[in-house]
Amino acid sequence: MPRHSFSTLLLLSSLLLAAAMPARADKDAVQFGSRIVVPEGKSIHDAVCFFCSVDAKGDIDHDVVVFFGNVHVAHQSKHDIVVFFGSVRADDNAAIGHDLVNFFGSVHLGEDVTVGNDVVVMFGGLHAADSASISGNRVAQPPWIFWTPLLVIGLVIIIVVREIRGHQRRQYLAAYGYPPIQPPPPPPVQ
């Protein structure tokens, strides 16, 4: 590729990147370590939270994503809620527009809660009132499905390491014998 064509291509791509519309995040809430609170009667577009919680007494117009925190929905979240290592609680008569996904946490759905699509709870607990309405699939994998194999693998590793060290200790003692036992110190003279 000639040098002139590469320079032209680089200049053209730079102009296209400079002319791109900036993302609008006027009503988004993104926090790291600070709680996101949506007051009653107010709304936000998206809520993204790392090491914090979302307390939505008002509306969330789009998605909620939380890592290592909890979500409380008092009124409605119009799209998806995704939580890693935390819990989700939806009050009575709350609405979740699309999917509710939780990994390593619990989900509590109150009376007359509606979920527009699927509820997926991986390695946690799902507690839904009888009157809760889930339009799609309900998938809940209990925590023991994850922790039991992990615990078994850990125990096998501990046993193997213990046996290898015991074998090495027995080989050392067979080759060099037991170390001499030190005589007890004499009693102090008074």
Over residues 75-104, the mean pLDDT reads 92
Q: Is the pLDDT of residue 81 over 60?
A: yes
- The rounded mean pLDDT for the chain is 85
State whether 87 and 158 are in the same domain: no
- String of DSSP letters for 18-51: HHSPPPP-TT-EEEESS-EEE-TT-EES-EEEES
| Count of structural domains, the chain | 2
Q: What are the pLDDT digits (tens) for 148-162?
A: 888 999 999 999 999
Rg of the chain over CA atoms, in angstroms? 30
**Which segment of 14-18, 35-39, 48-52, 114-118 scores lowest on mean pLDDT?**
14-18
In a domain, 52, yes or no: yes
Q: Which residue has the higher pLDDT, 8 or 36?
A: 36
**Domain shared by 124 and 110, yes or no:** yes
Same domain, 91 and 63: yes
Domain with 50, as residue range(s), is 24-142
